[in-house]
Amino acid sequence: VTENRSNLEDLHLYATPREQRFRRFASLEFEGQLYMTPYDFIQAVTNDEPKRAKKWRSLSKQELNQILMETPPVWKGSSKLFRNLNEKGVISYTEYLFLLCILTKPHAGFRIAFNMFDTDGNEMVDKKEFLVLQEIFRKKNEKRERKGDEEKRAMLRLQLYGYHTSTNSVLKTEGEDLVPRSYWDTLRRSTSQALFSDLAERADDISSSLSDTTLLVHFFGKKGKAELNFEDFYRFMDNLQTEVLEIEFLSYSNGMNTISEEDFAHILLRYTNVENTSSYLENMRCRIPEEKGITFDEFRSFFQFLNNLEDFAIAMQMYNFASRSIGQDEFKRAVYVATGVKLSPHLVNTVFKIFDVDRDDQLSYKEFIGIMKDRLNRGFR
């Protein structure tokens, strides 16, 4: 089924940037709701545009059931889960937002995330507790909706959530709209028992009307009765982070054990608001004439550090307040103290050669933090 072009563009006018991206990469439709395949999700976080023409293929109930029957249980997860599933999986818009959250969070945050889902404190998360996530993100999204034709916005909600939604928001508190918050912040701020009990009642209502997804079956089994423990939850989050990094690394390594310093710079500068990327690359070429290469372990350690960027930014601000720039030794020490991640001397030197535009072998807060915040959130900060 090929979406009518004018209707597609028309609804796009009422969508937020994240909604637009989901709609652009999603390839499946079931009973009016759009879904990504695991392949679509990987494409959405590693490419600027979809590799194929815009089509939404309608799934039959039988096809969906077959896909879910073949979904492996959580204890069979791996860092190749999404690649192995490929087109045989369905991911809803809410789950897309959840997976994006995972990609930008430090390992220390995994326990916080698990405890937020575990509303009864029994060290296990059940399907009903997990579905509260759907309501929290939906309520968050209602505040971000663009004004306009209510009928068009209702169509958009149906596409993204699979059911019509009211505009009453139980998340709304006085003054909250003054500060734009991330989905992670919203989730973190929405954990009071009173709020969760309210949303849990709503989750009961919607769970009966919503179709199961690959993630729900993976976590809670084909009958939805299994419970998720922290070890399996942690492993899933860690595997997803690793899988996306492996895909990005392999796309440049051409089967080798390393990528070039220039390729590393290309990956870092993607999805940022840097306009003159050529000057950064030229700067690095001149200052690292002999290519040594970046290993996957170095590559992964840098992105683990980026997921702890907020803690590192505090250390960097202390230098900034003291009107001091930061050298390589101070940088490496600040990374380790703030995040617990050890970066290799070669990796730190490469980062400096990329971002030290004025070539004083010092890294300023302004030169580095702002750009990396954009990169961490893949252009959707």
Q: What angle do CA 104, 336, 231 make, to 5 degrees?
A: 50
- Across the range 175-193, mean pLDDT stands at 50
Residue 13: predicted pLDDT: 75
- Across the range 268-272, mean pLDDT stands at 81
Please name the residues in contact with 227: beta carbons below 8 A apart, sequence gap of 6 or more: 124, 125, 126, 220
Judged against a pLDDT cut of 60, whether residue 201 lies above it is answered with no
Pairwise CA distance, residues 11 & 34, whole Å: 13
pLDDT digits (tens, 9 = 90+) for 122-146: 889 999 888 887 777 777 766 666 5
Residue 84: predicted pLDDT: 96
| Structure tokens that stand for 316 in this block | 């960097």
**Which residue in 29, 13, 26, 35 sits closest to 153, CA to CA?**
13
CA 308, chain centre distance (Å): 14
Residue 249: predicted pLDDT: 95
Judged against a pLDDT cut of 90, whether residue 192 lies above it is answered with no
With beta carbons less than 8 A apart as the criterion, state whether 161 and 136 touch.
no
SS (H, E, C) 154-188: HHHHHHHHCCCCCCCCCCCCCCHHHCCCCHHHHHH
CA distances from 109 to 184, 188, 264 (A): 10, 11, 26
- Across the range 371-375, mean pLDDT stands at 82
pLDDT digits (tens, 9 = 90+) for 8-59: 557 777 788 888 899 999 999 999 899 999 999 999 998 888 887 768 999 9
